[in-house]
Structure 1
Amino acid sequence: MHMARTKPWMTTVLAGALVAGLLSGCGNGDAGGNGGQAAAGNDGQAGASGDPVQLRLYTYGTEEAYNWQKTLAAYTEKKPGVSIELVQLSEKGDTQEAFKKLDLAAASDEQIDVLMFSDPAGYAQRVALGMAAPLDDFIAKEGIKLEEEYKVDTRLNGKVYALPGKFNPWYVLLNKDHLAEAGLDVPTEWTWDEFADYAKALTKGDGPSKRYGAYFHGPQNGGWMEFLKIAMENQPEGADFLKEDGTSNLDSPNFRKSLELRVRMEKEDQSTVPYADMISQKLAYRNQFFNQTASMIPIGSWMNTEIGGTDKVPLTFNVAVAPFPKTNAADENGLTPVTTDYVAVYGKSKHQQEAYEFVRWYTTEGQVVQGKNIPAWNGVKTEDVSATIDTILSGTKNPELVDKESLVTVMLESKASQIIAPATYQSEVYKALNEEYEKLILGSQDIDKTIEASKKRVDEIIAANKN
């Protein structure tokens, strides 16, 4: 069925052979029809009938953010026997809206060949519904190793259902002027203990005008939970509150270390903006950093598009980037929380080989062609990353104030720890842990009691949700 063509909420963009139709304003067509479904060979070339194989790509990505016309046209040039019809699920790139419409399209049995998920929870949930085909056989046939090809391990329960597109690791934004004033270098490798030492050295003054060494934007209201597991999430395994088998991971010494670090920095060193202030004043992390209230903030590299300053939040000082800190000095450098696009082959696609070939191209060379994000592909060249960073920074007000070399280095050296498929009751776990942390940081219970209460509540949530 091709119901998407009649629905006004789906913007259809045709690439390659269909670009001419787009440019002339005719995009109704039946150009895809069912043509090629019985025709194409494994190389994606047109079959004996001469009809192209048409793949339909469902995405939340906007033209502005993903450069689709240029990207898909490049693929059609490479594979003349394949055309891509783009179905944009949200004009504003709203992932929640897009998920709803994707689910509706799947329920309506529309032709879907390639689809994208924006987060691990959405990915895991739809894999469980059979919406994504396992790719292990395609990967084995191609003779590649996932861990050598990509910086993000997308396996769920030991199988691969998607390949990673863009790569947004977490890092630490630094006020380079404050570092110079304190005689500190921009770190290229450091631990959380060293981060705390830096924060203490960077803290200055008292009262309302006090400058803090660091700002943590969470946890709050069961969200921004990255800030409650800072010493866990830079580990290759065991990086989350729950283990892969669904049991609690709160016995991890790194959970305790995370709590100890937060307490030390706020209560003993007084080098971080107080949690009570963050909550009561509804502080914004951009303002804390760009107004120079705090010298360092751990945050995601979605900030690349703002790091050089914007109209709303101008940059008036030199800024640099450091990698996400390690827990132990001997740990591997660069492991960090990462957000990515999960690009999958639809479970019911009749063109799975061609769809896989497109997914492989899009998540490798296609990311470079797209030129909008740093790829999760390990094969990307340093000069390509540098060029993409140049393009991103050129959209900011003062790119000359950004230490570009530090940014490029961190983006190249970052890699994701293991993805744990989120539990269906994850939000309950987050809420409980957030509440126990608040008791700790606001002074009503110590670390031992916080860990004990957290474990008890999380175990109860797990037990209540067992089938």
Structure 2
Amino acid sequence: MKMRGRSKVNTLLSLVLASTLVVSACGNGNNNNTPSASPSPGNGESKPQAEQVTIKYYNWDNEAQAAGTRGMLDEFTAENPNIKVEHVVLVPGNSVEMLQKLDFLISSGEAIDVIQLPSLGSVLERATRGAFEPLNTYYTNENLTPEDEYFVNAKVGEDYYGMQFTKSVNYVMLNKDMLDEAGLAVPKYGWTWDDYREYAKQLTQGEGVDKRYGSYFHTWELYMNAPAQTMMKDPFLYDDGTTILADPTYKYFFELRKGMEETDKTSKPYADILAAKLNYRTEFFNEEAAMILTGNFTIPDPGNTEQYPHDFKTAFAPVPVPPAGSEPKDYEGKYFTSGSQIAMGATSKHKEAAFKLMRFMTTADSDNRMEFSGYKKANNEELLTKLIAGKEDMYDVDSLKYSLFSEDIQFLDGAQVMTTATSELTKVINDGFSKYMLSNEPIDEVQAWMVGEATKIISEKGVIK
């Protein structure tokens, strides 16, 4: 609201000013926390004090990540003293269970301000349910074009729902001391999953409780079909909107997993991992396993010897590629990249403050940032230097930089189609993998079942273009 002009009549001046101050103060009480227009600095008039609000920032940080998040939130509140931010960790270190808890909070009507989500799909799925606020108006007000700001944008139709917070790059972490002991070189781009299997054989030692496995695969779908999850544009759909569960990589990787567990005995059994609820970081840093497929969110971990005590150096290698004859459909030899997203709850009572926090978290050049940024103007190589500063002796730095920034490492363009049924399709992948690994059902029957289930789900839910 613009302030009225001054009257030439002195007796009316005080009345106009008093009325303006009252109306301006009331104008800050709306649900969207939209600020009223105020006199520009330097014109001799004081700026009205901004309304004090409290908003919540939700995520799934583990202990180490929470310290970095708290640091960034403190920086934000120092710059914005009228906005207090409460950090709410829904389920520490577990994004899958965090999403389940988030859905419960949404269904119960809790006011959600700002939430970090693990993937683009997890944003789109909830956006189509009306759980998140479209960001178009806020972008327009700030003269921002999302495609100029972020690598990946969460978009349904013409509406934007998420800002890319982190940029994901997958790689394999290897115990460098064990590689040297076995006389194995740190792999480069182009090594295959068959090569990985051979490495695991040479890195496995011992028996029983003292056994050291060459490889560890965790319980997520990333480890059920790594080629599909790391070298295809979308982990659920082809560009034509059909399911990728028919892809030849599924049969190849399911059989590779079973062969490594049952024939080679170089990877800890899936059943044991489920029963013991093992932690993948602990398996690697406790030297229970020599190699693990993971992502750049683990970069700080080798240097964090307080939380993960160990004395070996960690090497890094690009994700293995599928061998000839087992490549995915439309294979380009490039890697998938996405990352976590930050969204605004549709129920937030302080949306302007929420948007301001979202922009800060996604764009700030902060020493407290612990993962690569999805912001196009961020300097991720500089961030890497900060992340490992003072701990370089725990890293094979050359292999880390190669796996992240080498010209050999190229990334796929974004998917042309996506689905909102990520939870349902993930369950199909998990159930199919269990049928094969735990119930020993034939691979061809399992894959046919997976394709049938996925096709029904996609037909019912549709796709996003």
- Once the two structures are TM-superposed, the CA of residue 450 in structure 1 deviates from its matched residue by 2.0
Question: Which whole-Å CA distance do the structure 2 matches of 1:332 and 1:139 have between them?
Answer: 35
Q: What does the per-residue CA deviation read over 1:35-78, in whole Å, with 9 as the maximum and x for residues that have no partner?
A: 9835248x9999996344767643125873411454214644xx
| 1:223-234 equivalent positions in 2, closer than 5 A | 224-234=220-230
1:290 aligned to which of 279, 285, 290: 285
Equivalent position SS for 2:440: coil
Change (3 A) 1:355 1:280: closer
Unaligned runs of 5+ in 2: 1-24, 325-330
1:37 aligned to which of 23, 34, 39: 34
Change (3 A) 1:191 1:101: same
Confirm or deny that 1:257 pairs with 2:222. no
Q: What does the per-residue CA deviation read over 1:314-345, in whole Å, with 9 as the maximum and x for residues that have no partner?
A: 21322122233344797354435x55241448
Question: Which whole-Å CA distance do the structure 2 matches of 1:45 and 1:127 have between them?
Answer: 43
| 1:121-160 equivalent positions in 2, closer than 5 A | 123-136=123-136, 142=143, 144=145, 146=147, 149-156=149-156, 159-160=159-160
Match for residue 389 of structure 1?
A: 387
| Structure 2 letter corresponding to 1:423 | A
Change (3 A) 1:54 1:126: farther
2:235 aligned to which of 218, 234, 239: 239
Equivalent position SS for 1:255: helix
CA RMSD of aligned residues (A): 4.6
Match for residue 172 of structure 2?
A: 172
| Contact preservation (8 Å) 2:106, 2:131 | no
Question: Which whole-Å CA distance do the structure 2 matches of 1:151 and 1:45 have between them?
Answer: 39
| Structure 2 letter corresponding to 1:116 | I
| Contact preservation (8 Å) 1:320, 1:407 | yes
Question: Which whole-Å CA distance do the structure 2 matches of 1:191 and 1:412 have between them?
Answer: 17
| 1:61-210 equivalent positions in 2, closer than 5 A | 64-66=67-69, 67-73=71-77, 75-76=79-80, 83-90=82-89, 95=98, 99=102, 103=106, 107=109, 115-120=114-119, 123-136=123-136, 142=143, 144=145, 146=147, 149-156=149-156, 159-167=159-167, 169-193=169-193, 195-200=195-200, 202-205=202-205, 207-208=207-208, 209-210=210-211
| Structure 2 letter corresponding to 1:456 | G
Change (3 A) 1:382 1:31: farther
- Once the two structures are TM-superposed, the CA of residue 245 in structure 1 deviates from its matched residue by 9.1
Question: Which whole-Å CA distance do the structure 2 matches of 1:256 and 1:438 have between them?
Answer: 14
| Contact preservation (8 Å) 2:303, 2:395 | yes
| Structure 2 letter corresponding to 1:272 | S
Change (3 A) 1:273 1:50: same
1:453 aligned to which of 445, 449, 452: 449
| Contact preservation (8 Å) 1:32, 1:54 | no
- Once the two structures are TM-superposed, the CA of residue 200 in structure 1 deviates from its matched residue by 4.3
TM-score of the superposition, structure 1-length normalised?
Answer: 0.68
Question: Which whole-Å CA distance do the structure 2 matches of 1:423 and 1:289 have between them?
Answer: 33
Confirm or deny that 1:400 pairs with 2:393. yes
Change (3 A) 1:53 1:139: same
| Structure 2 letter corresponding to 1:233 | Q
Match for residue 318 of structure 2?
A: 323
Q: What does the per-residue CA deviation read over 1:126-159, in whole Å, with 9 as the maximum and x for residues that have no partner?
A: 423434333356657846462x643444334564
Question: Which whole-Å CA distance do the structure 2 matches of 1:382 and 1:124 have between them?
Answer: 26
| Contact preservation (8 Å) 2:165, 2:339 | no
1:306 aligned to which of 286, 296, 301: 301
- Once the two structures are TM-superposed, the CA of residue 232 in structure 1 deviates from its matched residue by 0.7
Question: Which whole-Å CA distance do the structure 1 matches of 2:223 and 2:359 have between them?
Answer: 33
| Structure 2 letter corresponding to 1:291 | N
Question: Which whole-Å CA distance do the structure 1 matches of 2:182 and 2:231 have between them?
Answer: 30
Question: Which whole-Å CA distance do the structure 2 matches of 1:312 and 1:48 have between them?
Answer: 50
Question: Which whole-Å CA distance do the structure 2 matches of 1:31 and 1:85 have between them?
Answer: 20
Count of aligned positions: 410
Confirm or deny that 1:271 pairs with 2:266. yes
Q: What does the per-residue CA deviation read over 1:428-466, in whole Å, with 9 as the maximum and x for residues that have no partner?
A: x44444343234335733322221232234445667889
TM-score of the superposition, structure 2-length normalised?
Answer: 0.69
Equivalent position SS for 1:173: strand
Change (3 A) 1:375 1:74: farther
| Structure 2 letter corresponding to 1:288 | E
Q: State the percentage of identical aligned residues.
A: 22
Change (3 A) 1:244 1:97: same
Question: Which whole-Å CA distance do the structure 1 matches of 2:369 and 2:277 have between them?
Answer: 35
Question: Which whole-Å CA distance do the structure 2 matches of 1:440 and 1:89 have between them?
Answer: 38
Change (3 A) 1:430 1:96: closer
Change (3 A) 1:88 1:216: closer
Which has more radius of gyration? 2
Question: Which whole-Å CA distance do the structure 2 matches of 1:45 and 1:454 have between them?
Answer: 67
- Once the two structures are TM-superposed, the CA of residue 358 in structure 1 deviates from its matched residue by 5.4
- Once the two structures are TM-superposed, the CA of residue 115 in structure 1 deviates from its matched residue by 1.7
Change (3 A) 1:200 1:305: closer
Question: Which whole-Å CA distance do the structure 1 matches of 2:354 and 2:377 have between them?
Answer: 21
Equivalent position SS for 2:287: coil
Match for residue 374 of structure 2?
A: 376
- Once the two structures are TM-superposed, the CA of residue 251 in structure 1 deviates from its matched residue by 1.8
| Contact preservation (8 Å) 1:372, 1:388 | no
| Contact preservation (8 Å) 1:152, 1:376 | yes
| Contact preservation (8 Å) 2:55, 2:354 | no
